[in-house]
């Protein structure tokens, strides 16, 4: 379980996160929402060690993440970033293999077991056919899956995802989020083959897909965590309207009860 307690973080003159407290347990997915600048990315950066906290604690079980070396932390926390500029000279296999770095020596030598893990992670996101393709030749959706596979190869109990669906077509968005859900809720066969349920935190823009995959929703506004609860609890018109400074309406999908949100 990942515990964030009273975390304040930001830059010297400018605090972005104010006393955020949050828990992410194994086997659950929390969607992190909020307008731009609310601190979603900052939170992810603080947890993954890019940003030093000004105050507060970040723990996994009872280990203090802020006092760890980069290598130790990277065995607990893996991040799926957005697909910005990707270096062109890597094949899909090579990119996913980089995910094993926390477990390898200085020369990055991979053993047979590492190779198995890499292939399994690629299989999990349906990338085995594309193993030798150059990563820049792939579509946006495929690229994002590569980065997910890389994070999976790190074999960490916690996965953080920073707006992973930002540049994807709708079909790929849904596809990806279903993958994310399965990471926290693996099928019985997956559990039997040794896959442990992850703790997943996903920063996401699109409010309408949340209910499909998130167990909990955390709403951030101006650096504070203003509401944490189930999707139905958080996705209330009045709460969201205040957060996004826009009158919003919610409408449940009659088939499954999932809420759709749109401006009035």
Partner 1 sequence: MKNTARPFLICILILIAAMLLSVLVGSVFIPLTTLADLVKSALLGQTSALDPSGSFAAILFKLRIPRMVLLILVGAALAGSGSAYQGLFRNPLADPFMIGVSSGAGAGAVIAMSIQWPYTTLGLMAVPISAFAGAVLAVLVVTQLARVGKTIPTTNMILAGVSVSAFASALTSLLMINSTGELRRAIVWLMGGSTLTGWNPVLSSLPYILIGLTVLLFLGHPLNVLQFGDEQAQQLGVPVQKVRMVIILAATLATAAAVANAGVIGFVGLVIPHVVRMLWGGDYRRLLPLSMLGGASLLLITDVVARTIVAPQEIPVGIITALLGAPFFLWVLKRTKSQNYW
Which residues in this chain contact partner 1 in the complex, by CB under 8 A? 45, 48-50, 69-71, 73-75, 77-79, 81, 86-90, 94, 98-99, 101-102, 104, 106-108, 134, 136-137, 154
Supply the DSSP symbol for 11. Answer: E
In the bound state with partner 1, the residue whose beta carbon lies nearer, of 107 and 194, is 107
Cα–Cα dist 128/155, whole Å? 18
Q: How far is the CB of 50 from partner 1 (least distance, A)?
A: 5
CA within 13 Å, CB half, 45: 15
Q: Which residues of 222-233 are buried (b: 16+ CB within 10 A; e: fewer)?
A: ebebebbeebee
CB of 183 to partner 1, least distance (A): 17
Measured from the CB atom, the residue of 31 and 80 that comes closer to partner 1 is 80
Considering the complex, state which of residue 75 and residue 181 has its C-beta at the smaller distance from partner 1. Answer: 75
| Mode of pairing for the β-strands spanning 28-33 and 199-203 | parallel
How far is C-alpha 71 from the geometric centre of its chain's CA atoms? 19
Nearest approach in angstroms of CB 33 to partner 1 is: 22
Q: 90, 192, 68, 174: which is closest to 99 by C-alpha?
A: 90
Contact 181, 161 (CB under 8 A): no
Residue pointed to by tokens 């307690």? 5
Nearer to partner 1, 91 or 208 (CB): 91
CB nearer partner 1, residue 54 or residue 86: 86
CB 98 to partner 1: min, Å: 6
What is the smallest separation between the CB atom of 13 and partner 1, expressed in angstroms?
Answer: 12
Euclidean distance between CA atoms 111 and 128, whole angstroms: 19
Residue length of the chain: 264
Q: What is the bridge-based pairing of β-strands 199-203 and 158-162?
A: parallel
| Smallest separation (angstroms) from partner 1 to the CB of 132 | 12
Pairing of strands 53-60, 28-33: unpaired
Q: Which is nearer to partner 1, 68 or 260 (CB)?
A: 68
């Amino acid at each position: 379980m990942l515990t964030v307690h009273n975390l304040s973080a930001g830059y010297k003159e400018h605090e972005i996160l104010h006393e955020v407290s949050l828990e992410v347990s194994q086997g659950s997915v929390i969607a992190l929402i909020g307008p731009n600048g609310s601190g979603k990315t900052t939170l992810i950066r603080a947890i993954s060690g890019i940003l030093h906290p000004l105050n507060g604690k970040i723990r996994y079980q009872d280990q203090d993440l802020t006092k760890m070396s980069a290598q130790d932390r990277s065995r607990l926390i893996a991040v799926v970033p957005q697909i910005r500029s990707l270096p062109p000279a890597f094949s899909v296999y090579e990119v996913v293999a980089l995910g094993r770095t926390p477990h390898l020596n200085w020369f990055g030598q991979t053993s047979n077991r590492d190779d198995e893990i890499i292939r399994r992670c690629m299989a999990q996101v349906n990338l085995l056919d594309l193993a030798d393709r150059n990563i820049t030749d792939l579509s946006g959706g495929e690229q994002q899956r590569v980065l997910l596979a890389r994070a999976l190869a790190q074999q960490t109990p916690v996965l953080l995802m920073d707006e992973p669906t930002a540049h994807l077509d709708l079909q790929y968005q849904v596809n990806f989020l279903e993958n994310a859900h399965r990471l926290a809720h693996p099928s019985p066969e997956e559990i039997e083959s040794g896959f442990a349920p992850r703790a997943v935190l996903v920063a996401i823009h699109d409010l309408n897909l949340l209910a499909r995959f998130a167990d909990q929703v955390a709403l951030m506004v101006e650096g504070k965590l203003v509401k944490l609860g189930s999707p139905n609890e958080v996705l209330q018109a009045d709460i969201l309207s205040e957060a996004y400074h826009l009158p919003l309406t919610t409408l449940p999908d009659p088939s499954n009860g999932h809420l759709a949100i749109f401006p009035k």
